[in-house]
Amino acid sequence: MLEKLPTILNKFQIKGQFFAAAPIEIGHINATYQVTLQNGQNKSLYVLQKINTEIFKKPLEVMHNIANIGHFLIKKSYPRKVLLPIESFEEEYVLKIADNYWRLYPFIQNTITYNQVDTIEQAYAAAFAFGEYTNYLHDFDATSLHVTIPNFHNTNLRYQQFLAATKHGVGERTKKAQETIDKLFHYQYLLKLIEGAKLPLRVTHNDTKINNILFDKTSGAAVCVIDLDTLMPGTLLYDYGDMVRTFTPPLDENSADFENIYIRKEMLHALTAGYKDGMKGRLTALEAELLLDGGKLTIFEQALRFLTDYLLGDVYYKVANQEQNLTRAKNQVCLLESLLTVS
């Protein structure tokens, strides 16, 4: 794939000669490359991504959302970096070559992403940035966004898909996963947690895991919210929930060290404070009351999704080995059980 990148880059409105490219092996969905261009003495960095069209069936709609939100934020003098795609010479934000769709972003310099949180300052800063992002978008018409993945955070439907996978999945995997399957059956009652709640429809990010925030390498500040493919109308409870899921455990979702998968209360408090401060008082009383339920539902949903993918033979998430989705599901069950004991 790397050898094709120079030709693809030539079609975007950027200056310079191709110098280098390297895959960025973070994220489960898209194929991401850091590319370097040389212009005289200067080098400039970009992020070139092949959009996963198995998952995002309408890439033009994805890019339409991202560009509209980006321009809206810039107009409102949003205080952090805005991830805006670079246009092709055909003045499109996405380039179709054969069956693949490509997009290009500036590489945000001197930044780093983490797969787990090490300090309460990081938890506060990242949660503040996600809260602030939602707050700045409070007057953007959420219904004008394309729904890039229908039913993305429909936990009931995720449960139904899990049930179907237990019946029709790969036989030997079902046996191996039986204990985890039974646990998820047991936690079915969680589906009722926010049933019937009158929650405001907001522009939500829907994938607020810790590696979707760029931190400044020097100051540690949260510089930029990234991975905007799932910007959609929704409830913020899942945004908060995915922060609980990914900011609070000492180890990330791939860890098989299950005894060390638990909610660190200090991280939970820091992220909750950061999120509320970032939202600048715009959380409704009901949203505030249901935040922790959002955490439970999001972790439960993620366990269902990983286990469903395991049972179906790893059709969705990138995996490094055959057992990885099962490990991830077990990891999420441990985290869920820990959250159920702290609240």
Closest approach, Cβ 27 to ligand ADP, in A, equals: 2
Nearest to 243 by CA among 316, 199, 201, 298: 298
CA of 57: how far to CAs of 99, 100, 122, 148, 236, in Å?
Answer: 12, 11, 34, 8, 24
| Cα–Cα dist 217/208, whole Å | 20
302 binds, among Mg ion, ligand GN1, ligand ADP, none (CB under 5 to 8 A by kind): ligand GN1
CA of 315: how far to CAs of 55, 165, 178, 311, 322, in Å?
Answer: 10, 12, 20, 9, 12
| Residue 32 engages ligand ADP in binding (rule: CB under 6 A) | yes
| Cα–Cα dist 325/165, whole Å | 14
Nearer to ligand GN1, 37 or 244 (CB): 244
| Options 12, 30, 194, 240; binder of ligand ADP; rule CB under 6 A | 30
253 binds, among ligand ADP, Mg ion, ligand GN1, none (CB under 5 to 8 A by kind): ligand GN1
Nearer to ligand GN1, 125 or 231 (CB): 231
| Residue 309 engages ligand GN1 in binding (rule: CB under 6 A) | no
Q: In the stretch 26-45, what mask flags binding to Mg ion with x, by CB under 5 A?
A: -x------------------
Angle at 299 between CA 53 and CA 252, to 5 degrees: 80
| Residue 214 engages ligand ADP in binding (rule: CB under 6 A) | yes
Nearer to ligand GN1, 88 or 133 (CB): 133
| Options 227, 239, 287, 293; binder of ligand GN1; rule CB under 6 A | 227
Alpha-helical regions (H) of 216-264: 237-247
Q: How many CA atoms lie within 13 A of 224 on its CB side?
A: 20
| Residue 24 engages ligand ADP in binding (rule: CB under 6 A) | yes
Sequence letter at residue 336: L
Q: How many CB atoms lie under 10 A from the CB of residue 57? A: 11
Q: Which structure tokens are listed for 226?
A: 């990234």
| Residue 111 engages Mg ion in binding (rule: CB under 5 A) | no
Q: In the stretch 218-257, what mask flags binding to ligand ADP with x, by CB under 6 A?
A: --------xx------------------------------
Q: Which structure tokens are listed for 322?
A: 């055959």
List, in order, residues 6 or more apart from 6 with CB less than 8 Å away.
18
| Residue 27 engages ligand ADP in binding (rule: CB under 6 A) | yes
Closest approach, Cβ 149 to ligand GN1, in A, equals: 6
Nearer to ligand ADP, 54 or 195 (CB): 54
CB–CB of 325/317 below 8 Å? yes
Number of residues that bind ligand ADP (CB under 6 A): 19
107 binds, among ligand GN1, Mg ion, ligand ADP, none (CB under 5 to 8 A by kind): ligand ADP
Sequence letter at residue 90: E
| Residue 253 engages ligand GN1 in binding (rule: CB under 6 A) | yes
Closest approach, Cβ 27 to Mg ion, in A, equals: 4
Nearest to 80 by CA among 59, 61, 102, 108: 108
Q: Which residues bind ligand GN1 (CB under 6 A)?
A: 27-29, 55, 207, 209, 212, 227, 229-230, 253, 302
Q: Which residues bind Mg ion (CB under 5 A)?
A: 27, 212, 227
